[in-house]
Amino acid sequence: MPRARSRYAPDRGLTGRMVTTMFLIGLLYVVFVGVLLAALRGSWPIILIITGGMFVAQFWFSDRIAAYGMGAREVTPEQAPELHGTIDRICALADMPKPRVAIAESDVPNAFATGRSEKTALVCATTGLLRRLEPEELEGVLAHEMSHVAHRDVAVMTIASFLGVLAGIITRIALWGGFARSRPGNDPAGILLLLIPLISAVVYAISFLLTRLLSRYRELSADRAGALLTGRPSALASALTKVSGQMARIPTEDLRKAEPYNAFYFLPAFSAKESLGRMFSTHPTLEQRLDQLSRISTDLSR
C-alpha cells in the first residue's frame, strides 16, 4: 500500500488494516472463484469473463456511479468561490493536488469523497451542509474528506466491497435459478452446486464485516488527520455536533435515499443506537469521534 504523499499525518494503523482487509478479501475471492470453477467446470470461461469484467467495472467506474447516485455536480470556482477557496487552502496546507469539486443538491447536510487516486478524486458537499456550517466548520469537514483521498482508503473500500457484491449476486442466482436442479443428488458436482448459496452467503458475511471494521476505523483516522492538519479539532467537533443534530430534522424519506451511500458520507444518514447495530455500522459513534477530537485539542494546547 503506497504511503500518502502529503502533509497529512500518516496512519500506520489504517495502512495495516487496509493491507489486512485487502489480503483477506483477495483470499476469499480466490476461494470463491475456485469453488465456482470446480462446480461449473464447463462454464469456466464465462465465470472468468463475468467476474473479471465486474471487477474491472467496479474498480474503474464505481466512483463515478457513486458520485452520480449521490447527485454530485462538478462546479467551477466562479460557481462556488467559497467552496473552492476552502479546498484551495486545504490543498496548500496538505501539499497535495486539488481534486475536482462538486455540489449535490440535497438538504441532507453531508459531504463525501470518491476516486481511485488523487488524479481522479472528487470532493463533494451538499447544499444542506454549505448552508448550515460556518467557514471554519466547513474547512474541518472538507479536511476530513481530503484525508480519505490522501490516504487512498476510498479506493481500498471500493475494491474491498466488490467481493461482497459479487457473492450476493451469485447467492441470488443460485437460489432463484436453481443451479443444482439438473443434477442428481448423489453426484459430487451436484452436491458442490448445492453448497454455492451457502458458501456465497458466508463470503458475503465475512466481506461485509471486514469492510465495516475498516470503514469505522478510517472515519476516526480521517477525523484525526483532518484535525491535525488544520490545527482546529474544535471546528470539526462543532461541525459533527451540528450536522448530527440537524439530521433529526431531515424528512425520513430523504434520509432513506441517502442511506445506501452511508459508507461514503461524513456522517451516516441513520446512526445505530443499539450495541449490536453499532457492530454493523459504517461509522463510529458520535461520542467516540468527539472524545478523540477532545484529546487532540488537549494535546495541541500543550
Taking only the tens place, the pLDDT of each residue in 49-71 is 776 777 777 677 777 877 888 88
**Which pLDDT belongs to residue 223?**
97
**Spans of the chain below 50 pLDDT:** 1-4, 179-184
The whole-number pLDDT of residue 180 equals 47
In order of 154, 173, 193, 207, 252, the CA distances from 36 in angstroms are 29, 13, 8, 18, 41
Q: Measured between alpha carbons, how far is 278 from 66 in angstroms, rounded to an integer?
A: 24
Catalytic residue among 137, 139, 145, 219: 145
Helix (H) or strand (E) holding 102: strand 100-104
Rounded to whole angstroms, what are the CA distances from 109 to 63, 72, 76, 80, 81?
20, 14, 21, 17, 19
Strands 100-104 and 111-114: unpaired
The model's pTM is 0.82
Task: Report which DSSP code applies to 182.
Answer: T
CA 238 to chain centre: 23
Could you tell me if 53 and 260 are in contact, meaning their C-beta atoms sit under 8 angstroms apart? no
pLDDT of residue 258: 83
pLDDT, position 147: 95
C-alpha 272/C-alpha 284 separation (Å) is 10
* CA-wise closest residue to 207 among 68, 46, 58: 58
Q: In this structure, how many other beta carbons lie within 10 angstroms of the beta carbon of residue 185?
A: 8
CB 25 within 8 A of CB 207: yes
Q: Which three cell numbers mark 211?
A: 469492510
145 flagged as catalytic: yes
Cell of 246: 440537524
Question: Residue 282 in contact with residue 212, Cβ under 8 Å?
Answer: yes
* Whether 270 contacts 276, CB under 8 Å: no
pLDDT, position 4: 44
**pLDDT at res. 269:** 82
3-state secondary structure of 266: coil
d(CA 117, CA 154): 9
